[in-house]
Amino acid sequence: MNIFRLLGDVSHVVAIIILFLKIWKSKSCSGISGKSQVLFALVFTTRYLDLFTSFISVYNTVMKVVFLALAYATVYLIYLRFRSSYNSESDSFRVEFLLVPVAGLSFLENYAFSPLEILWTFSIYLESVAILPQLFMITKTGEAESITTHYLFFLGLYRALYLANWVWRYHTEGFFDQIAVVSGVVQTIFYCDFFYLYFTKVLRGSGKMTLPMPV
């Protein structure tokens, strides 16, 4: 454990809580991609199956339970509790274009050809692209509420901090996880344009972040 990983975990939790509270308090999931949230729930489910087979630390176990609980609670709010406010027409990203390649790659590129290892690898690859339905939805509608952009900012910050964590571990421990690092870099790249718009528009006090509409 180092400061970068700790801050990364905190940023991740803050992002999910921001989204959950936004939906709960407004009683609306408008502007939120349910597909991205389902993908994230799938990420946590396939990654944390070792919750039943191994114990690393109390911190590790608690964080796994928190992520799983919040992910499924968010999916519940979107698809059941406040389903009437969910805009399925705007949330039209074809997730099969993500799931099929990710599943295939997890069988081809992994550290051990075992069920748990393949599922863990699948979760790493899937996490790198799970945000795409949300980014696609924002691009399609042309704008995003500030609270939604705060969620995306902390989610992107979590990935950036984890990159710093991997650099730190490489220099201090000689540890290098190629699958996690490459996937993390890919995911962080997806946030680059968003970060620019976030700092130049949202933090200047605009209620919503306006994006160019797709042609």
* Residue that is written with structure tokens 């705060």 in the block: 150
Which residues touch 78 (CB under 8 Å, ≥6 apart)?
A: 23, 29, 32, 34, 37, 86
**What mean pLDDT is reported for the chain?**
88
Q: In sequence order, what are the beta bridge partners of 209?
A: 144
| Residue 122 near residue 103 (C-beta atoms within 8 A) | yes
Per-residue pLDDT of 5-29, as tens digits, reads: 999 999 999 999 999 999 999 999 9
Please check the confidence at residue 57 and state whether its pLDDT lies above 50. Answer: yes
Per-residue pLDDT of 139-186, as tens digits, reads: 777 666 767 788 888 998 998 899 999 999 999 999 888 898 889 888
Q: In sequence order, what are the beta bridge partners of 210?
A: 143
Looking at residues 27-42, what average pLDDT do you find? 95
The number of residues making up the chain comes to 215
Measured distance CA(85)–CA(79) in Å, rounded:
9
Confidence of residue 40 (pLDDT cuts 50, 70, 90): very high
Other beta carbons less than 10 A from residue 167's beta carbon = 13
Per-residue pLDDT of 62-102, as tens digits, reads: 999 999 999 999 999 999 999 999 999 999 999 999 999 99
Q: Rounded to the nearest 5°, which phi and psi values hold at 143?
A: -160, 165
Model confidence, pTM: 0.88
